[in-house]
Chain A
Amino acid sequence: MSTRIQTGGRLIDRTKSVTFKFNGRKLQGYAGDTLASALLANDQMLVGRSFKYHRPRGVVASGAEEPNALVNMGEGAFFEPNQRATTTEVFDGLTATSQNHWPTLEFDVGAINTYLSRFLPAGFYYKMFMYPRAFWKHVYEPFIRQSAGLGKAPKQKDGSDYEHFYAFYDVVVIGGGIAGLQAAKTAAAAGAKVLVMEQTADWGGRAVVDGAEIDGASADAFVAATVAELQAMDNVTLKTRMMGAGVYDHGYLLGYERVSDHDPSLAGPRHRLWRIRTAQIISATGAIERPLSFAGNDIPGVLLASAVRDYLVNWGVSIGERTIVVTNNDDAYRTAIALKQAGLSVPMILDARKSGGGALAQQARDMGIRVENGKAIAKVHGGKRVTAVSICDQAGEGVVLDTIGCDAVAMSGGWSPVVHLYSHCGGKLNWDAEQVMFRPDLTRMPTNQNGQGFVMPAGTANGEMSTAATLADATARALDVVAALGKSAPTLTAPTAASEDAAAIEPVWMMPQGANIKLRMKSWLDYQNDVKVSDVQLAAREGYESVEHTKRYTTLGMATDQGKLSNINGLATLSGALNADIPQVGTTTFRPPYTPISLASIAGSARDEVFQPIRKTPMQDWHMANGADFEPVGHWRRPYCFPRAGETKAQAVEREILQTRKSLGLLDASTLGKIIVKGPDAGKFMDMLYTNMMSTLKVGKCRYGLMCSENGFLSDDGVVARIDENTFLCHTTTGGADRIHAHMEEWLQTEWWDWKVYTANVTEQFAQVAVVGPNARKVLEKLGGMDVSKEALGFMEWADGTLGGFDARVYRISFSGELSYEIAVPASQGRVFWDALLAAGAEFNVMPYGTEALHVMRAEKGFIMIGDETDGTIIPQDLGLNWAISKKKEDYIGKRAQERTFMVDSKRWKLVGLETTDGSVIPDGAYAVGEGVNANGQRNMIGRVTSTYYSPTLGRGIAMGLVLDGPDRMGETIEFPKVDGGSITAKIVDQVFYDKEGTKQDV
């Protein structure tokens, strides 16, 4: 059984015990425990179920590589699935439940799959469930989905906060082990601005666990001293609980800081995502131990040798009383020795190497541990935990020589440098046959914006396995980085460590070497996804020879650990099956993040009111206070209408229209774009921007104009006012302001840079109100201050002056067909001005109206609306706007495009008015159908509505639409089928429905 032993545990504080819950059981741990160490201390060997066969799963590792120990964490708004127990620090009140089983962890019905496993090899689902066809959606898939997935789906909105932080460094060191600290010290001594991040809460990495000696003292002492030294330097930042999540182009690095996961009671964000720019990255991320592939290597109680050692040394937890160690390298002996020293029993060390190990092996023998060379595990016995191990010759086919009782197995298949961060941005690897590992190829390093390598691996991450070599490499690589920064090398004495006399590792990809199919079907490669040696061999046999094919076919390495334990073993198994060398078969690309990071941290603080900006006009508060129903327009929210108590939106719109046409309405037009175009060449420029001739516009006058893209399509419209000889003011649509200003600047900066023109976007300088209706003039006269009579201020004219004491610019323009003034005042006075208009208009029962009333009134007048009559494929000629296209001009933006064959095709649909024969309203988006079908069997269409409304003014449905030969078919009727059957008949008519003569707006 796994338990807490009396002594040891360098990371735990035995004076501070914490209480937590697992599957409802109250358990005790110590401050400094991870959830995994605390569970093991409570003999909770079984922690979950595997993905496919629902096999019992126990902790196998002690860090980020853990594939098995995933739990549902927390509750309610703080619930999180798939939390890795080995990287979760326990705290008082932590609650966790195990995953992927029903009804209970101990008894899981899904475990039936393990007995069916013979029928469920890799890719079985590609070969089954095809017949009958309907069954996939209704029977097979629902079943597969139910049994898939790991953690539970959260139910509630996240209760925590998150934020981002932008930071810039010369050097970021990832990994707080001895290599990282030594490298940081070297870079910092050279004067570089350095950040050092360590994903766990503690500095030191492996060396401190393995009891290395540095400069004659313990690794612990070296780490403490170096950290203190670094802390004292003001060009160094040290961060624990921060993981290097991803490396991106141009020195962009994500630092995933888990600010309060270890203590949710802390104020502040839960996670802070650092978006770092750095000239150089030192990847001192260490290495991960590989499992060995033998039958039953997935039974709870079989752990990585290094993990067994970690739990013992860091947390004072023994996995078992009798631990059998199995290895193909010397490092695992450290585990045996540590266990023995802790007074635990190690019945045997199985060393697959015929020649056995080096100094450490000798040390183990001297301590009286039985060491068997050339031996292997034939099979691990046990169900939910290890009970015994059968021994065989590694060279053989698994003939059992002996079976030994034990409750734990510590395995080591060698070490793989953590090359993920080095690879994220394209760093390439080489296969080191001697050390049996992929290591970074420093000649093919990822490059930054200057074409310079910028991710430097150091220490174990660079394939240096001994303490001495690690420290030496860390110093050397840091000096390379210092040189790359163009800084001079600092003078410091590199720390030294005794060199170790270790015997070479031997590749062992299958145990025993000649294991038969039955054993291979029980030898796990990917514990979470249940991928076994036999699965990879099957994939190879079926021709899925690329490693990517095999991964995808078997799901090897696709689990939440992203193959940290399984990739190399799987690759080696594949190359074995293909009789190819490992480097030929290749490795797979590593994608960010290194380990999964919360989606919330990626979104940062952008939630709720700051999810996206909401732009507000100076009158917005009034709109909200008066029950406006808003619609998003770009980042603005404009009042759609102002419903009153008991009123539907439609009723409100109708009221607003009728009252405006009858007496007086107000529209907040502040969002309309206002752009100043000034300079000696302004006229020339305006003539290129607009299809109209703008240079001839008289000072004091306004003109409606159209703008097209260079591709010919109508992109914006609005009224232009000539302010003075050199100055124009261009009104754009609400959505157009920024776009059109950018459009102007683009042409001025990149095409006509010699033209003397300046532009300024003054949209927000002004609050603009449309005062509309027969009583518009009366209300302005009431305010007083300037002459707004027909004589003084004619239709399509503008004037500056004061109205009711407000500095105002008044435009006599109309988008509704009524007598109408658009009045611009300084934005900071917009609200008071609005209030003044309401007060003055009270006697006329003034009525603010929203965008829908605006749309209906302009439709009644047959005015087009950008976004309704246009959709990015419409040219002005389609809309009968030829009157607004100057024939005199040689050129304007979009003119050449409009000369293309399809643009001048007489078959282009043209704008007309549509009047339903029964007065009803044509549905939005309806198409008119013609005779027959096209070559693809689609009904031929001859037109579509672009705007369709109920007109309260006319008491009937009105519409505009684009129709084939429309203008030549006045009076004819066409059919608009409805989606729910039936159709509407509409007569083609002139598009102006209201006040055709235009007398009302010109009184």
Chain B
Amino acid sequence: MKRYSIFAVAREAARYHTGWDRAWASPEPKKKYDAIIIGAGGHGLATAYYLGKNHGIKNVAILEKGWLGGGNTGRNTTIIRSNYLQDPSAAIYEKSRSLYETMSQDLNYNVMFSPRGVIMLAQTEHEVRGYLRTAHANAQQGVATEFIGPEQVKKLVPIINIHGPRYPVLGGLWQARGGTARHDAVAWGYARACSDMGMDVIQKCEVTGVRRENGRVVGVDTTKGAIDCDKLGIVVAGHTSDLAEMAGFRLPIESVALQALVSEPIKPCMDVVVMANTVHGYMSQSDKGEMVIGGGTDGFNNYTQRGSFHHIEETVRALVETFPMISRLKMLRQWGGIVDMTGDRSPILSKTPVDGVFVNCGWGTGGFKAIPGSGWAMAELMAKGQSPLTDEFSMWRFREGKFIDESVAAGVAH
């Protein structure tokens, strides 16, 4: 692999950039792999990457029915934070956040991780108590957060209206090392690194069946033929129910649309990520200058990647009230993604009723921030059959009543 650096760019400039290699190969599938990952989104690619990097399993194929990174990895609002309340969440999201810190260097691909800081606004007494609770929990979980007052919020976000007539800002939960990253680059960086390890990233290859022999996976059928494998990781977010059915088991998952939008680009005016959960909206400004805005999900099952407009309306309404200066900005583009929601809105990283089949899904609206941590944990689970990061996220927790509910601290999973 040709290393990326300013010198490499300079060298290439001399010959008008005609010498760059492919970032990743596009091979035909082999007959058999030690492990197959279905889904070349961020989570799938990261899983493969850490299988190779941490566990030496490199005979791996990542199968993607469309183009890599084309699902929610390329459709989200790129927020990265780990200020979660419950231990299992805090553990995996903080692992993830810490991996983001060095991802550009680890992958030699600039994913533009920008630890600009994330504020979750407290706009009711109840939210204040919720975030104080989170701050205390985070302190014991090794997650650096603090509860800050309204003046500090105003200092960090000059464009905010903290005296909103409806919901004055009473403070906020501040994570200084939270931030954003370039979503496509995360998928591309992992794909390049996997390819470099000799793994096969196979696009436009749809899985049509999961082959099993006496309760154990032996391979998959695909639009590019049958492929054998010892272990299979299903990492396909909104399409998980389909794959689970092929493998012969059910999951507590429903797929719904989540929407986002961006404004036209303007000069920098907001350096941090702000989430206003009482009014259901969150906003950050991209390096390009666009205000990146997200909100809530639809309440009904939907695979169209088109959400209902009233969610856009609710979110924009809330943010115009919170940031009056955005009122005359224009919505440039809106889009939707299909997110998979579990019974407690927390993910599933788990073994399954089928030997050798592992599932990683249910990230709902919070998947992007979890990509490296999820990949790290999933790889460990697939390689060793167990991981402290995934123990609590078993698919069997619902029948036991052992939920991981993040909504309790007025927190949302974006």
Contact = CB atoms under 8 A, between A and B. Distances in A.
A and B touch in the complex (CB under 8 A): yes
Interface of A: 51, 78-82, 118-119, 121, 124-131, 133, 136-137, 141, 144-146, 148-158, 160, 246, 248-249, 252, 254, 275, 425-426, 517-518, 521, 534, 538, 541-546, 548-549, 552-553, 555, 558, 560, 562, 591-593, 596-600, 602-604, 606-609, 611-612, 614, 631-633, 640, 711-712, 867-868, 871-873, 897, 900-903, 923-927, 929, 934-939, 941, 944, 977, 979
Interface stretch (B55-63, B221-229, B263-271, B352-360): B263-271
B401 A979 contact: no
Best-buried of A426, A553, A925 by chain B (most CB within 10 Å): A925
A603 B316 contact: yes
Given A900-B399, A935-B391, A79 B328 contact: yes
Contact of B266 (A125, A149, A867, A977): A149
B126 interface: yes
24 contacts: A82-B330, A127-B110, A130-B5, A131-B5, A141-B114, A145-B268, A146-B268, A148-B287, A149-B266, A149-B289, A150-B289, A153-B159, A154-B329, A158-B327, A160-B328, A275-B309, A542-B20, A549-B184, A593-B331, A599-B327, A901-B400, A927-B136, A936-B91, A936-B388
Interface of B: 4-6, 8-10, 13, 16-18, 20-26, 66-67, 69-70, 74, 87-88, 90-91, 101-102, 104-105, 108-110, 112-116, 123-126, 128-137, 139-142, 146-147, 159, 165-167, 182, 184-185, 188-189, 203, 263-269, 278-279, 287-289, 304, 306, 308-309, 312-313, 316-317, 319-321, 324-335, 388-389, 391, 399-403, 405, 407-409
Contacts of A154: 266, 325-329
A248 B124 CA distance: 35
Contacts of A592: 333-334
Given A254-B309, A543-B26, 16 more contacts: A130-B105, A136-B114, A145-B287, A146-B268, A148-B268, A156-B324, A246-B309, A249-B306, A562-B333, A602-B312, A603-B313, A934-B388, A937-B142, A938-B140, A941-B87, A979-B136
Contact of B67 (A160, A549, A941): A549
B87 A934 contact: yes
A596 B264 contact: yes
B17 A150 contact: no
Contacts of B389: 936
A148 B289 contact: yes
B317 A603 contact: yes
B59 to A, nearest CB: 22
Nearest to B20: A542
A872 B407 contact: yes
Nearest to A609: B165
Nearest to A593: B331
A902 B329 contact: no
Contacts of B408: 871-873
Contacts of B402: 902
B331 A599 contact: yes
Nearest to A153: B269
Contacts of B266: 81-82, 149-154
Contacts of A144: 287
A130 B110 contact: yes
B327 A548 contact: no
Nearest to B322: A611
A611 B391 CA distance: 44
Contacts of A600: 320, 327-328
A151 B104 CA distance: 30
B325 A137 contact: no
B331 A602 contact: yes
A151 B269 CA distance: 11
A595 to B, nearest CB: 8
A337 B293 CA distance: 48
Contacts of B104: 130, 133, 136
B288 A926 contact: no
Contacts of B184: 549, 552-553
A157 B269 CA distance: 14
Nearest to A520: B16
A127 B334 contact: no
Given A149-B288, A611-B317, A897-B401, A598 B5 contact: no
B5 A81 contact: no
A543 B22 contact: yes
B317 A150 contact: no
A909 to B, nearest CB: 13
Given A125-B110, A151-B267, A157 B317 contact: no
Most chain B beta-carbon contacts within 10 A, residue among A145, A534, A935: A145
Contacts of B401: 711-712, 897, 900-903
Contacts of B4: 126-128, 130
Contacts of A125: 110, 112
A425 B308 CA distance: 12
A133 B203 contact: no
A277 to B, nearest CB: 12
Q: What are the 6 tightest A-B residue pairs by CB atom distance, in nearest-first order?
A: A149-B289, A925-B133, A596-B330, A158-B327, A935-B388, A153-B269
B120 to A, nearest CB: 14
A632 B167 contact: yes
Contacts of B320: 158, 599-600, 603, 607
Contacts of B268: 145-146, 148-149, 153
A541 B91 contact: no
A929 B137 CA distance: 10
A544 B287 CA distance: 22
Contacts of A160: 328
A929 to B, nearest CB: 6
Nearest to B269: A153
Nearest to A855: B125
B264 A82 contact: yes
A126 B132 contact: no
A868 B132 CA distance: 13
Contact of A119 (B13, B125, B189, B333): B13
A177 to B, nearest CB: 25
B169 to A, nearest CB: 12
Contact of B5 (A51, A127, A632, A903): A127
A249 B304 contact: yes
A128 B135 contact: no
Given A154-B325, A543-B22, A598 B136 contact: no
A153 B20 contact: no
B137 A927 contact: yes
Given A149-B268, A872-B405, A939-B140, A128 B133 contact: no
A508 B264 CA distance: 31
A939 B141 contact: yes
B165 to A, nearest CB: 6
Nearest to B92: A936
B115 to A, nearest CB: 6
A593 B334 contact: yes
B70 A545 contact: no
A925 B132 contact: yes
Contact of A127 (B8, B142, B288): B8
A129 B70 CA distance: 25
A586 to B, nearest CB: 10
Contacts of B5: 127-128, 130-131
Given A131-B105, A602-B312, A903-B401, A546 B133 contact: no
Contact of B24 (A534, A543, A924): A543
A96 to B, nearest CB: 14
Contacts of B329: 80-81, 154, 598-599
B265 A560 contact: yes
Contacts of B142: 937-938
B133 A148 contact: no
Nearest to B161: A157
Contacts of B131: 925
Contacts of A518: 16
Nearest to B87: A938
A81 B105 CA distance: 37
Given A596-B332, A607-B320, A923-B136, A871 B409 contact: yes
